[in-house]
Amino acid sequence: MLKKILIGIVGVVVVLLLIGFVLPGTMEVTKSITINAPASYAFEEVNNLQNNDKWQYWNNLYKGKMTVAYGDIKSGVGAVSEWDGEESGKGKMTITESIPDKSIKVDLDFMEHGTAKTWYTFESEGEGTKITTGFSSDMGMNPIGRWMGLLMKPEMEKAFDYNLTKLKEIAESKPKFSVAITEEETQSVSYVSISTTMSFENDEAINAQMMKSYTELATVLEKSKVEMAGHPFSMYPKWDEATKMMEMVCAMPIAANAKLPAKYKIMQTSGGKAVKAVHLGDYSKMMTTHEQLTKYIEYKNLKMNGAPWEVYLTDPTVEKDTSKWVTEIYYPIQ
């Protein structure tokens, strides 16, 4: 009887090994989800490896049971994290490709257990974003390895469902903005300007003062035969909520070596990083766009680095339809 049992067991093992040879040599998993949020909201979570604890299935499964260390680079290409634990084993994760708000590719090294690749894509879908994540690992010719791949696939699918659901929750809980906001690098600009201190509560007075200042500047440039080197802009270096007073600097960009009367000094903006939004329409509604930029800076934990400025791409004396007015608003940041 024992002999028959042993022969039966060996037979089963042989059959399983033979089946293993015809099982897929590569374990692949792909999952998708659609979120009601811009791609950047999910991309920034995946692109920064330090965020893994917030949404990664394995990090939460082994929470408190494994150590995680990060390289000098925490996000984007070259970012590395390594884990080590009795249950989780050792491993290393490296971001090899990062296209902002589009895709991320990651190499996984499970040490003695092999390697794998995983990736994420972010595609606009209506007002939302479709996130797709994939995993691929070569299980080799060893039939045992191929069986392991088959057995592990359901757990991998479970992990991906967890990850995507968490990313959706995180992304959709972030604040929404009514205008498109970007972070950009601005260049230093030479300009001539007129500064006025006045109340920011009287829109009619502000418009009148801006018209007066820009008319004066345009006249000076015309008499001096100096051309503008871009669009007119204004800066607001002082803004006091207590007194309701502001300093408004109306400026025109010109060449740094332009020759003007001594009264008109040529200055330069600092240039550098800034948060930008594009306002469409009447100037009287521009405060809403400013508020959105302030909200964005607070949400991103950014720090201001100077006075905000507005660039007027549309000449209101030429284009009378206010719905066609375009204004760029910049908030300099550190």
What pLDDT does residue 116 have? 86
Helix (H) / strand (E) element for 181: namely: strand 181-186
Residue 225 within any structural domain of the chain: yes
Residues 85 and 197 in one domain: no
Q: What is the pTM of this model?
A: 0.68
What pLDDT does residue 151 have? 55
What pLDDT does residue 88 have? 83
Concatenated DSSP letters for 75-141? BSTT-EEEEEETTT--EEEEEEEEETTTEEEEEEE-GGG-EEEEEEEEEEETTEEEEEEEEEEE--S
What pLDDT does residue 141 have? 56
Other CB atoms within a 10 A radius of the CB of residue 27 amount to: 21
Residues 94 and 29 in one domain: yes
What pLDDT does residue 142 have? 59
CATH of residue 65's domain is: 3.30.530.20
pLDDT tens digits for range 170-224: 999 999 888 889 999 999 999 999 999 999 998 899 999 999 999 999 999 999 9
> Quick check: 229 and 190 in contact, CB under 8 A?
yes
What pLDDT does residue 157 have? 87
Residue 1 within any structural domain of the chain: no
Of 172, 195, 210, the residue at which a domain comes to its end is 172
- Supply the range of the domain harboring residue 282: 181-332
What pLDDT does residue 153 have? 76
What pLDDT does residue 16 have? 39
Residues 116 and 209 in one domain: no
Q: Which ranges constitute the DSSP H helices of 139-262?
A: 143-172, 203-223
pLDDT tens digits for range 251-276: 999 999 999 999 999 999 999 999 99
What pLDDT does residue 110 have? 81
Of 126, 148, 172, the residue at which a domain comes to its end is 172
CATH of residue 286's domain is: 3.20.80.10
What pLDDT does residue 18 have? 43
Q: Residues of the chain whose pLDDT is less than 50?
A: 4-5, 7-8, 10-23, 146-147, 149
Of 152, 172, 192, the residue at which a domain comes to its end is 172
What pLDDT does residue 148 have? 59
